[in-house]
Structure 1
C-alpha cells in the first residue's frame, strides 16, 4: 500500500511518540534540542533537564574524544555507529549504542539525529559468558583456557626478550581424604583458601589458574636463574605451612609440584604443561610434598608406562599371562603343604617378564583388577586339576591387590570362581598386606565374608607395614608371612633375629600359623626351626616353577618329605 504525502504527518507523529527506540535531536554544538520520550528511566535525567544540555556532559571521560569525533563526522554528512559509556545521574555507568545521521535542510546539515539503545544488560550477559568461559566460578581464578592463552602470550614475550619462564602443575596432596572427612562443601572452602594463599606468591593474578578439581597451574615469569626458580617454588610451598581450619579442626595441607622450564624456542604452552604434569606424577610416585623439574628421561618412562599398559590389555586378551608356583614347606616334616601362585608375563618379543616390571603399572592403571581375577581363577583351576590327578590336597595362595580388595562384590566374584572351577574353598588362601587392614571396621566385615566362604586369609610381608595388634586380634587371619627382609639377615643381625622370634611367639599366642618367606640357606632353616616357625618358602626349598614342573615335583614328593636336608 502506497504512503502518500497526506499520511506523512501522522506517520512521523506515530514514530516520534511510539517508537521503542530512543532518538534525540542534537544541534551543531552538540546540545539536546528534543528527545522523543522521557529519558529518566535510562539516564536519570528528565526531558526538561536535558533540553539544552551538551551531549558530552553525559559521556564518561574516556569516551569524550570518541563522541566528539562521531559528531564531527556526522556533521560532515556521514552516518556513524559506535558503543560508548555514559554516566547515569546517580553516578553509575551505562553502555549505549548510538547511531547518528545528519539532519539536512536545503542541502545543509543543521544538526544530528541520534538513535540511542541501552545495551548494558546485553554487555553484562556477554561479560558473564566471557567470565564463565575463562574463569573458575568457585575460586575466581583463571581456568585452563585462560591460562593456556596467557601462557602462549608469555612465551612469545619471553622469546622476544630472551627471558626464561617455568610452568608449574600443582596437586593438593590427600585432598580426597579431606572431602571424605569433612564433606565436599568444606573441601571447596579449602580450595578457595589454598587458591588465596598460592596467589600471594605470584606477581600477577593471571599467573595462577585452577585447572580442575584440586589441581592448579602457575607461571613463574620472569625467571632470573635456576636458583630463582627454586626460591619461588619454596615460597609457593611455604605459604601452605600454616594449618587451615575446617569446621574448627586444624588441617595441614601439602602440595606436589611438577615444573617445566622453557628452554627451546619451539616449546609451546601445551608441551610445557604436559612436561610439568609428567614431573608432577614423578613427585607423587616418590612420596608427594615436594617439587621436581621435568627431565627428558621422564618422557621416556611415561611413554614406557603407557606402552606397557596397552600391551598388558592386549596380553589379557591374548592369554599371554601364566602362573608359576613356589612350594611352601612344613618345617617339622619337610612336606609340601601349599603353593603360592605367582603371575608371569610371556611377552611375544621380550620373553618372560618378571612381575616387578609390570605389576606397578597394572596397579596404577587398574588392569590389576581383571588380571587379579584371572590369577585367582587360573590358580583354582590348576589346583583342582592337580587334585583330580590324585596329587596332595594342599591350598594355593594368591596375592590380593589393594584395588581388588576395595571392590564392592569381591566375595561374590570369588564365590563364582570357586563354583566354576569346583575347588573346595579350604584349598584357596588369599594373601593381603597390612595396609589393607587400616580401616579395621571395613576390613573386618569384608574378611569375615570371605572366610565365611571357607577360604583362609594370611598377612603378606608382615612387619613392614601397619603392624597393629588391634587388627591381628580382631580380624579372621589364619597366618602371618614374615617378610623376606627380616629372614635374609636373621643370622647376622640380632635385631632381625629378635623381630622374627617375636613375630613367631606373638602369632602362636594368637593361635595363628607363621610362614617365613625368602628362605635361602640351611642356617636360616635351622634358626626358624629352633623358634618353632611352622612353614617356610624360598629358594632353599625350590624356586618358582612352571605348572608342569610344579606338578612333577608334587608327583615325585607325594606324601614324602620334599625339603632338602
Structure 2
C-alpha cells in the first residue's frame, strides 16, 4: 500500500512539474505580448482623453469667467494653451499608427472655438460695464431726487413737496427692485412690469411738474427728467447686452459640444478600439496558457483517481468500523473497541465533514453580515453625534464648542500673519415678543431664516458664523485691516437685517443689535474676546437697540460692576437685608396725614443704605425684582395692618408696583390673599404705578379694573415726565395723580411751572382725581401749592422717610408741625390777589382752631 501510494504521488509530482513549466512559458509569452501592446496603444488613448479633457476645461473656464468672473483671464489663456498642446500631443501619438484612419484636422475648429470664447468674454465685459453704468445713472437720479428734501421744510408747501417726493421715491424704489430681480436671472424674459413702473414714475413726475418746479426750481426738475431718461436708456442697453450675451453663450456652448463630440467619436473611440484589439490578442495568448494548464490538470486528475481507487480498497473497512465505533461511543458506550480490517466508508466521513463545514460557513456568514451591519450603524451614528457635538440642531450652524475651536485657530493664524480678527455678537431685538405673540415654533422658523441669511450673505462668505444659543449669533471675520472695517461690517449687518425676512409665507421685519471687538486690540484669547463682544452687545442694547457698539474697557468694568451688584442682591434676598421706610403725604386743609408711601431701601452689612435707583435696573434684568417686590408688598401690608388695628385706625399705605408684578397673571390673586391673610381692608392700600409700567396694553387695564373692584386705590406716579399722556387719565381707572418733583422744583421760581402744575391740578379735579405734589422741599413751594384746594403734599419739607415705628408718632404730632409749616409759607402772589386772600383766610382759620384746641395748661 505504501509503495503504490509513493509511486502514485511521484507520478503526480512529475505531472505537476511538467504542467507548471509549460504554463509558465505560455504565461510569460502572453505577458510580453500585453506589455508590447500597452506600450504601443496606451499613449494614443491617453493623448485623446487629454484632448477631450482640455476642450471641456476650456469651455468651463470661459463660462466661469463670463458669468461670475471666478476664473481670471490668465486661467482662460492657460486653458486655451492646454487645448492646443493636447491637440499637438495627439498628432504626435497618432503619427506612429499607420493602421488608424486619419481623422479630420481639428486645429481650425479649435481656433474657431477660441475665437468664439474671446467674443463671449468681450460680450460679458460689455454687459458688466453697461450694468455698472446703469446703476451709476440710477444713483445719480436718486441723488438728484433726494436733494431738495432737506430744504423743503422752509416753504409753505413743504408737506405737499415731501409727499410728492416720497411718492416719486417709492416709485423709483419699485423700479430698482424690479430691475434688480430681472438682472438676477440669466435671461430677463419680460420687461413689461419694469416699463410700467418707469411709466408710472414719468407720469407722476409730469403730473406734479408745476408744483415741484415752483418749490424746487425748474433746473432741478430738468435735471431729474434728464437723469430719468438716462436711466431708461441705460436699462434698455443693459437688457440688450444681456440678450446678446445669452445668444453668444448658447453659440459657444453648441460649438464646444460639437467639437467635444468630434473628439469622442473621431479620436477617443478609435483609439480605444485599437486598445481593445490589443486586449483580444492578449486574451488569445492567455487562452493557450489555460488550455495547456487544463491538459496537465486532466492527466494529474487521472493519476489521482487511479491512486485513490487503489488506496480506498485498502482503507474503507477500517474507516467504516471507526465510524460505527464513533457513533456508539457518542451514544455512551465507553467500552467500544474498533476491529481491524476493511476500507469502504471514507466518503461517509467526507460527507459528514462537508455538512458540518457548510453549517459552520453559514453561521460565520450570518455573523459577518450582522457585524458589518452593526459597524455601519455605529459609523453612521458616530458621524451624526460628531456633527451634533459641533453644530446647532435647529439652525445647523456651528455651536459654541465649534466657535471656540475655530476662534483659537483663527487667533493662531492672526498671530503668525500679524493681522486682526473682528468678532461680532448679533442679537435679535425683542425676540421674546415674537415667541409670545406667534409661538415658539414660529420663533424657531425665524431663527432658521436668520441663520440662512447669515449663511448665504456674500458679506460673510469668507467669515465664520455660529449660533451661541437663544437668539444670539456670532461672526468671526479674519484679516481685518483697521478698526474702520469693523464699523463697516457692523453697519452692513444692521443694513442687511433692514430687509424683511420671509418666514412661513409672512414678511417679517426685525432689527438686531451688534456688539464688536477686535483681536488683539481688545483681548488676546478667545474667552476674553467673547466677554468683550458680549459687553459691547449689552452696551448696544442699552443705547436703544438696532445699533452697534464697539468694545471699550469701561464696558467690561460696567459688566463686572453689574455682576457684583447682582451677586450682592442675591445675598441680600437670602439674608433679608431690605427694609421699608415710609414718607407721609399730608393735607394742609385738614392738617391730617392721609397716606404714607412705602419706600424700599437696601441696608448693606457695612451700614450703607442704597436707594432703589442704584440697583433696580440690575434686579429687573436678573429677575430678582419679583422676589424683592413681593417682599416689599407683603411687608407694607403687614405693617399697615398693625397700624390699622392699633395706633392709626385710618392707616393707608401706598406701595410702588413693578411692571413684572403688574403683568403677572397671579398678581391680583396674590394681593387679595395678602389682604385676607393680614385682615387689612382694601381701602387701606394704594398702589402706585409709573406711566412706563402702564404701557402694557389691554391686560394692564383689565388688571387695574379688578383692583378697583376690590376697593384698592390706584395712583399714577411721576406724572409730568417720561411718556405723560392725557389718554392715561381717560382710559385707566385711576384715583390719584402724583405730580413729579421735576415740575414742583421750579414752581416757586417763576416760568411755566406754576401754570403747568395749576393746569394739571384743575384737570385732575375736573376728572374726580385726587392730586399729590411730590418733592416739596422749600416753604416757597408750599406757598404756591396752598393756593389750590385739595392738593396733598409730600417731600422733605413735611418729613423725610421714617421707619415704621416712627409713623404713629408723626401721626400724633403732625398737626402742630403742619400748622407751623403753613404759617411759615410765604404768599406767592401780590397783595389783593384772591388766592393770597384765600391763603390768609386759611391761615387765620387754622390759627383760631389751634388756639381753641389748646387748654389753659398748654397756653402756659
Q: Identify the TM-score tier after normalising by the shorter chain.
A: 0.7 to 0.9
Q: Name whichever structure is richer in strand by fraction.
A: 1
2-side partners of 1:126 and 1:493: how far apart?
79
Gaps of 5+ in 1: 23-115
Counterpart CA distance in 2 for 1:264 and 1:306 is 24
1:304-353 CA distances to partner (integer Å, 9 max, x unpaired)? 32332332333233332222111112243443221111111221125222
Q: Secondary structure at the match of 2:818?
A: coil
Match of 1:220 in 2: 477
Shift of 1:224: 0.9
Alpha-carbon offset, residue 12 of structure 1: 11
Aligned to 1:239: 496
Q: Deviations over 1:481-516 (max 9, x none)?
A: 122222223455745445433332332222111112
Give the structure 2 partner of residue 346 of structure 1. Answer: 603
Shift of the 303–18 alpha-carbon distance from structure 1 to 2, 3 Å rule, reads same
Are 1:197 and 2:474 counterparts?
no
Distance 1:224 1:205 in 2: 15
Query: Within 1, Cα distance between the matches of 2:614 and 2:465?
Result: 38
Residues 347-404 of structure 1 show CA distances to partners (whole Å, capped at 9, x for unaligned) of 1125222222222222222222222222222223333333444346241111011122
CA 1:289 to 1:497, structure 2 compared with 1: closer, same or farther past 3 Å? farther
Instruction: Give CA-to-partner distance per residue, 1:396-431, whole Å, 9 cap, x none.
Output: 111011122122322232233223333322111111
Q: Would you say 1:444 and 2:701 are equivalent positions? A: yes
Give the corresponding residue for 1:375: 632
Q: Name the residue aligned to 1:81.
A: none
Structure 2 partner of 1:26: none
Taking a change above 3 Å as real, the CA distance of residues 163 and 8 of structure 1, as seen in their structure-2 partners, is: farther
User: How much does 1:17 deviate?
Assistant: 8.9
Q: Is the 8 A contact 1:142 1:206 kept in 2?
A: no
1-structure distance, mates of 2:541, 2:561:
18
Cα distance in 2, alignment partners of residues 464 and 238 from structure 1: 34
Check the 8 A contact 1:433/1:461 in 2, yes or no.
yes
Matched, 1:209 2:209: no
Cα distance change, pair 464–428 in 1 and its aligned pair in 2 (3 A):
same
* Structure 1 residue 424 corresponds to structure 2 residue 681: yes
| 3-state secondary structure, aligned to 1:546 | coil
Report how many aligned residue pairs link the two structures. Answer: 470
- Counterpart in the other structure of 2:512: 255
Name the counterpart of 1:182. Answer: 438
Residue 310 of structure 1 corresponds to which residue in structure 2? 567
- Structure showing the higher helix proportion among its residues: 2
Distance verdict in 2 for CA 1:176–1:201, change over 3 Å: farther
Q: 1:389 to 1:560 in 2, by over 3 A?
A: farther
| Paired residues of 2:668 and 2:707 also in contact (CA < 8 A) | yes
Is the contact made by 1:429 and 1:458 (CA closer than 8 Å) also made in structure 2? Answer: yes
For residues 147 and 493 of structure 1, do their structure 2 counterparts lie closer, same or farther at Cα, with a shift above 3 Å needed?
Answer: farther
Matched, 1:547 2:804: yes
Q: Identify if the C-alpha distance between structure 1 residues 315 and 142 changes in structure 2 by more than 3 Å, giving closer, same or farther.
A: closer
Contact preservation (8 Å) 2:537, 2:548:
yes
Rounded to whole Å, the distance in 1 between the matches of 2:820 and 2:423 is 60
**Aligned equivalent of 1:168:** 424
- Superposed, 1:497-516 pairs within 5 Å as 497-516=754-773
**TM-score calculated relative to the size of structure 2:** 0.50
Structure-1 residue corresponding to 2:529: 272
Partner residue, 1:57: none
User: Within 2, Cα distance between the matches of 1:264 and 1:10?
Assistant: 79
Runs of 4+ in 1 over 6 A off after TM superposition: 19-22, 116-122
Distance 2:354 2:641 in 1: 103
1:498-537 equivalences in 2 (<5 Å): 498-532=755-789, 534-537=791-794
Three-state SS of the structure 2 residue aligned to 1:398 is strand
Q: 1:320 to 1:168 in 2, by over 3 A?
A: same
| Cα RMSD, aligned residues only | 3.4
* Alpha-carbon separation, structure 2, partners of 1:123 and 1:499: 78
Instruction: Give the counterpart of 1:139 among 372, 382, 395.
Output: 395
Separation in structure 1 between the aligned mates of residue 589 and residue 628 of structure 2, nearest angstrom: 35
8 Å contact 1:336–1:561 — kept in the other structure?
A: no
Q: Hey, what's the Cα distance between the residues in 1 that align with 2:820 and 2:500?
A: 57
- C-alpha displacement of 1:209: 0.9
The answer to whether the Cα contact below 8 Å between 1:327 and 1:542 also exists between their aligned partners in 2 is: yes
Contact 1:328 1:339 in 2 (8 A): yes
SS at match of 2:398: coil
